[in-house]
Structure 1
């Protein structure tokens, strides 16, 4: 039986062959009846247990804290500490490997990663995971296809098109080349005319208005297929000493890949997206830039960029996108006399993939909300839908009059949310507290928020009502069992991470921030300030942020997989697709959520809310 030990399960998957032999030579098998206590509080553990069959409950103060099944292991921390702090009970008949403490100690001394994954806190486990990714993962860029990069629009002209007309296209379309049809109408061959071709024509003193582009074009196009790998495209550019290639799909040109775009893509640069946004002249131009944001997110994630960094970058890119869209829609006068803002995860800088719109507009008191304002708001909401940001089910959008108001009215509305709490008003307040200005006069938003914080007094009953929303998704309390339901691809294997933990973390920290008049938006920054003010235990605060980022990471990974298979992003993860290490980290993160919610219940006295 020991020969069948699963070395692909965490933390044993980091052992070398010599260390694996040590495990095989040391492991034994134990049997426990249903209800039998395997480890009790205060006992001195002698073995690490790795269940083969059956499940084991971990109980703390009589409450279920965790469940361990096949390929999990327990109690590493107790083994190293020399004392068990929880009770471990067989939920059913259990067959388990048991590894002697001396063997575990030897493995820890020779393999730091094994030790970190076995008994360290969440932070060290995440660091170990990052190290393993950098060691074992293939650079995904070597697998990225040409179609994933930024492709510039192609422009095709006839053989006899004059150089003057070509120059107009260069200027109007902000391009440096056009494709030119053959002189023979029956010949589908295409040539290319570039700014270099134009320079040669000018030096030859060719008249621009009467010289056709066809004879000066190069009909030996350098092409790549859309499905080719990026490095193949780069190799072709180097081989032919060219700065661009024409991208083909099923025999038809679909775009131009410039060397600068390819290199920027490889360098993980977001500058191309920004360039596309700033250079956009129409909403259709912006739609392409919006698509590139999603492509960039996928690339950054594949390369191991931390999800917090991706979220921050996406916040800035989306802000640029929305600001540009608003500038194309709203008049300069409206822009100057209003503040366009986003809320929710977008406002906190924690939205990664596109989700429902959450935005509003505060208008200067002396500026009339006329038909122009209404039309601009309608156009903006419609544009964002075209960009891939769905309509908010709760209509928290600028095209809803309830979310576009003069400053004085918004101030009164926010006051009502705070002082006359109802489920809807508390939800609106929570969303608004994360608001972030993206265009126009930001002082309008600051004024409303400043008045709101002045009203946030030491009214404990009010704060308890606000914080009590952390209990909104208690239907997810069975996540331990769901973590262990790893059959086929069905709904029982799926878990909504927002309901299971993300909302409790973000709203819990938001509640503490409101109570302490902290103006920062991001959860991580709010936690840092709370720790500095000694309003949350240091260790708990840090673990809450690490847990949030782990949940965001798993959610992003699942969302990207859904997009790549043509599905809509659900916000759920398929537990059956998690590695044993990811399941272990998810358990740890949700345990932190559970402890944090208990801290909030005690802090805000939620039993009276």
Structure 2
């Protein structure tokens, strides 16, 4: 066997050196002319095929369901089962490596990961991959710089100021410490006064308004440069037994670095962004925090964090961001007598990189909103735009009158959408079903959702029309996802949301509506539908794992586009996918295809 066999691609990248030697000793090379059958349906496979050149089509009942290209392998499942369930045909000149069946079975017995990646179901594959993944790209103590970490604002007071006034300043600025400037010293010096030192001042028994804060401050303050490594900063804290460092850049003071923030930076950056949001006292400060959210997504995802957890963290951060922005813009009485909610992927907790705004407002019946309500809502939408969330092209924002109403007006609007289920009304229903409260009285949204469920679950015609959108993008045929590896130098980019995520998410949403499931997250809906018997446990697991695969591929493509300073398109280039990603994507799309077929039967879509 030639030594050119590549072990850099799945599933061969998990083999140990001795197992790699087995492959080299038992693999041959095959050649197939265009149109030649490599493996016939029902035949007993004798080899595992690895494509070196060309493309092979997998046919089922005359339709091409998958296309295999260079670095792809097939058909491990048939090899294990002892019988091919599909027909495999060369669509052009094909050269393959062919690994003997006995060797493959021995490798499976010796290496469980190889076996799982070769022929297991999607859930098992992802489980094995999660165990193999090692954190990477987390901020390194030696490579990360102090200036990249979260720095708290510095507040400075003169040493002659009394302790009570200094504490009042700390309370007003929502900070645990202040810098103390002693200009009377030679040379002038700076120190720090914190809550810990305040305790000592109180225990002294002297009146706080008669003691200079300089008497209790700790001098001198320990400084660190913004360009120093995070590891050096941590060493400084340990050496001086302190919890705060002043960060400087030349003569400028940039901020305060606290030990808790430093530890959070190297473990969970989302904590720092949440802290920054909660402490923001202006929209400018919130904009700075919002700019960090995409960095958190990138760091967590590339460190191996499961994409569902990343999405959940993003939902929590965005909810806090929207809440704090609304609190800074709207008067407290309006906040208390309304419910601000988000919809779409944001409402489901499945948004990763920033997308269009989808939000609305429910006002309590009997409450008279401020006369400038429209202006307040416009300011909120403009603030979100500044944070990186562009306006919704369809105007689904509380700055539009349709999406800010009283509870009774919302009830009438929902009824109108249900009883006239056409085009835009169906789209609005789908969006509203994903609504998630982020500020104000969540009970107002709960009541509106309960009213919608009562209307919709008694209307079978609506349910069928609603579910029919799973085929909205016109690729329901058996070959629509085989385009992933269509022969050619530049396959058409594939839209992950339209052709994969949307039919899965909307299909689950349709079942949730039919069974009166009030959960908004797709995974929560799947879990509830399995509990109700509307989905089998196996179907539920497959759908949940397929969702993870599609979300992860969409995020990976989006991060790559952002790094290249290109607009985020939501598409993936099939020819740029690695063999493992192609394998997972094929499995995920197979799950989506079967789910669509089940939904067509369940909702009688063929007769609409």
User: TM-score scaled by structure 1?
Assistant: 0.88
Aligned counterpart, 1:481: 483
- Give the distance between the partners of 2:602 and 2:561, measured in 1 at CA: 39
Note if contact 1:191-1:221 (Cα within 8 Å) is conserved in structure 2.
no
Rounded Cα–Cα distance in structure 2 between residues aligned with 1:29 and 1:264:
53
1:308 paired residue number: 308
TM-fit CA distance, 1:566: 4.9
Report matched runs for 1:423-434 at 5 Å. Answer: 423-434=423-434
* CA 343–25 in structure 1, closer or farther in 2 if over 3 Å, else same: same
Q: Is the CA contact (8 Å cut-off) linking 1:152 and 1:256 kept in structure 2?
A: yes
1:597 maps onto 2:599 in alignment: no
User: Who is 1:550 aligned against?
Assistant: 549
> Do structure 1's residue 572 and structure 2's residue 571 form an aligned pair?
yes
Counterparts of 1:209 and 1:566 in 2: how far apart (Å)?
58
Give the aligned length: 601
* Aligned counterpart, 1:116: 116
Match of 1:388 in 2: 388
Q: 1:80 to 1:207 in 2, by over 3 A?
A: closer
Report how far residue 401 of structure 1 moved.
0.2
Match of residue 153 from structure 1: 153
- SS at 1:45 equivalent: coil
Post-superposition offset of 1:224: 3.4
Rounded Cα–Cα distance in structure 2 between residues aligned with 1:579 and 1:251? 49
SS in structure 1 opposite 2:73? Answer: coil
In 2, Cα distance between the equivalents of 1:149 and 1:354? 22
Deviates more, 1:203-212 or 1:428-437: 203-212
Which residue of 1 is the match for residue 70 of structure 2? 70
SS of alignment partner, residue 104 of structure 1: helix
Which residue of 2 is the match for residue 584 of structure 1? Answer: 583
- Show the 5 A alignment for 1:201-600: 218=219, 221-226=222-227, 228-249=228-249, 252-268=252-268, 270-457=270-457, 459-474=459-474, 479-483=481-485, 494-564=493-563, 566=565, 568-575=567-574, 578-600=577-599
Q: How many Å separate the matches in 1 of 2:62 and 2:249?
A: 63
Q: Retained in 1: the 8 A contact 2:221–2:245?
A: no
Tell me if structure 1 keeps the 8 A contact 2:362–2:404.
Answer: yes
In structure 1, stretches of 5+ residues that fail to align are none
Structure 2 counterpart SS, 1:44: coil
Q: TM-score, normalised by structure 2?
A: 0.89
Tell me, what secondary structure is at the counterpart of 1:371? coil
For the aligned residue pairs, the C-alpha RMSD in angstroms reads 3.3
Partners of 2:405 and 2:207 in 1: CA distance: 60
* Aligned counterparts of 1:417 and 1:91: Cα–Cα separation in 2: 49
Cα distance in structure 1, aligned partners of 2:567 and 2:159: 44
User: Which moves more between the two structures, 211-220 or 360-369?
Assistant: 211-220
Give distance in 1, aligned partners of 2:147 and 2:24.
Answer: 48
C-alpha distance in structure 1 between counterparts of 2:323 and 2:533, whole Å: 38
Deviation at 1:389, TM superposition (A): 2.2
Distance 2:276 2:458 in 1: 48
Any conservation in 2 of the 1:11–1:118 contact (CA below 8 Å)?
Answer: yes
1:198–1:367 distance in 2 versus 1, CA, 3 Å? closer
Please state whether the residue corresponding to 1:65 is helix, strand or coil. Answer: strand
How far is 1:368 from its partner?
3.4
Shift of 1:449: 1.8
- Tell me how far apart the structure 2 counterparts of residues 76 and 181 of structure 1 sit (CA, whole Å): 72
Query: Is the contact made by 1:190 and 1:221 (CA closer than 8 Å) also made in structure 2?
Result: no
What's the CA shift for 1:65?
1.3
Please give the alpha-carbon distance, in whole angstroms, between the structure 2 residues aligned to 1:140 and 1:360.
Answer: 37
Is residue 201–residue 216 contact of structure 2 (8 Å, CA) maintained in 1? Answer: no
Structure 2: stretches of 5+ with no match in the other structure? none
